Amino acid sequence: MKKNLVIIIGLNIVLALAIRWAYNVELSMNRQESMSEVLKKKYGQKSLPATDHSKFEILQKKFDTPQAVTQACISCHTERHKEVMESNHWNWEREEYIEGRGVTYLGKSNLLNNYCIGASSNEQACAKCHIGYDFESTPNFYKKEENVDCLVCHDNSGEYMKGGGLAGLPAGTVDLGASARHVGNPTKESCGSCHFYSGGGNNVKHGDLEEAQTDCSREVDVHMASQGVDMSCVDCHSADKHNIKGKLYSVSSANKNRAECQTCHGELPHESEALNTHTAKVACQTCHIPSYAKANATKMSWDWSTAGKLKDGKPYSEDDSLGNHTYMSIKGSFTWAKNVTPEYVWFNGTADHYVLGDKVDTLKAIKLNELFGSYSDGKIMPVKVHRGRQPYDPVNKTLIQPFTYAKEKGKGAYWKDFDWQKASEIGMKEVGLPFSGEVTFPKTEMYWPVNHMVSPADKSLSCADCHTNSPTGRLANLKGFYLPGRDGHSGVDFFGKWLLILSCIGLVGHAGLRILSGLKSKQA
Amino acid sequence: MAKEKVLIYKRFERFWHWAQALLISLLALTGFEIKGSYSLLGFESAVSLHNFSAVALMILIVFSIFWHLTTDEWRQYIPTYKNLSAQLKYYTSGIFKGEEHPVKKTVRRKMNPLQVLSYLGLKLVLVPLLVFSGIFYMSYRFTSGGQLMSFTPFTLEDIAFWHVLGAYLLVQFTLIHMYMTTTGHTVTENLRAMLTGYEDLEVEEQEPREELDKNLQTN
**Which residues does chain B have within 8 Å of residue A522's beta carbon, measured at their own beta carbons?**
98
Q: What is the mean pLDDT of chain A?
A: 91
Q: Does A13 touch chain B (CB under 8 A)?
A: yes
Note the pLDDT of residue A46.
72
Q: Is the model's pLDDT at A28 over the cut of 80? A: no
Closest CA to B108 of B218, B216, B219: B216
Nearest to A503 among B34, B157, B172 (CB): B172
Is the pTM for the entire model greater than 0.90?
no
Q: Is the model's pLDDT at A7 over the cut of 70? A: yes
Neighbour count for residue A27 (Cβ, 10 Å)? 11
What percentage of chain A has pLDDT greater than the value 90? 75
- The answer to whether B34 contacts A484, with C-beta atoms less than 8 Å apart, is yes
ipTM of the shown complex: 0.89
Note the pLDDT of residue B27.
98
- Give the residue with greater pLDDT, A5 vs A74: A74
pLDDT along chain B (219 residues), means of 10: 82 95 97 94 94 96 95 92 90 88 87 93 96 96 90 94 97 96 90 92 61 52
Note the pLDDT of residue A13.
79
d(CA A60, CA A160) in angstroms, rounded, equals: 17
State which residue of chain B sits closest to A516, comparing Cα positions: B96
SS3 A102: strand
Q: What part of A 240-279 touches B (C-beta under 8 Å)?
A: 267-268, 273-274, 276-277, 279
d(CA A250, CA A252) in angstroms, rounded, equals: 6
Note the pLDDT of residue A36.
66
In the predicted model, what is the mean pLDDT of residues A167-195? 94
Q: How confident is the model at residue A30 (pLDDT cuts 50, 70, 90)?
A: low
Nearest to A268 among B146, B168, B169 (CB): B146
In the predicted model, what is the mean pLDDT of residues A357-385? 96
**Which residues does chain A have within 8 Å of residue B167's beta carbon, measured at their own beta carbons?**
496
Residue type, A276: N
State which residue of chain A sits closest to B156, comparing Cα positions: A482
- Give the residue with greater pLDDT, A209 vs A140: A209
Nearest to A277 among B36, B142, B182 (CB): B142
CA–CA min distance A24, chain B (Å): 13
**Which residues does chain B have within 8 Å of residue A499's beta carbon, measured at their own beta carbons?**
168-169, 172
Nearest to A503 among B35, B36, B176 (CB): B176
Question: What are the residues facing A386 on neighbouring strands?
Answer: A446
Q: If DSSP states are collapsed to H, E and C, what string results for B15-39?
A: HHHHHHHHHHHHHHHHHHHHHCCCC
Note the pLDDT of residue B205.
56
Q: How confident is the model at residue A452 (pLDDT cuts 50, 70, 90)?
A: very high
CA–CA min distance A44, chain B (Å): 26
d(CA B79, CA A121) in angstroms, rounded, equals: 88
Q: What part of A 440-469 touches B (C-beta under 8 Å)?
A: 462-464, 467-469
Neighbour count for residue A329 (Cβ, 10 Å)? 18
- The answer to whether B157 contacts A482, with C-beta atoms less than 8 Å apart, is yes
d(CA A421, CA A217) in angstroms, rounded, equals: 48
CA–CA min distance A502, chain B (Å): 10
Question: What are the residues facing A272 on neighbouring strands?
Answer: none
d(CA B76, CA B107) in angstroms, rounded, equals: 10
Note the pLDDT of residue A32.
55
Cβ contacts below 8 Å, chain A against chain B, sum to 115
- The answer to whether B96 contacts A493, with C-beta atoms less than 8 Å apart, is no
For A232-274, the pLDDT digits (tens) are: 999 999 999 999 999 899 999 999 999 999 999 999 999 889 9
Q: Are A205 and A114 in contact, with CB atoms under 8 Å apart?
A: no
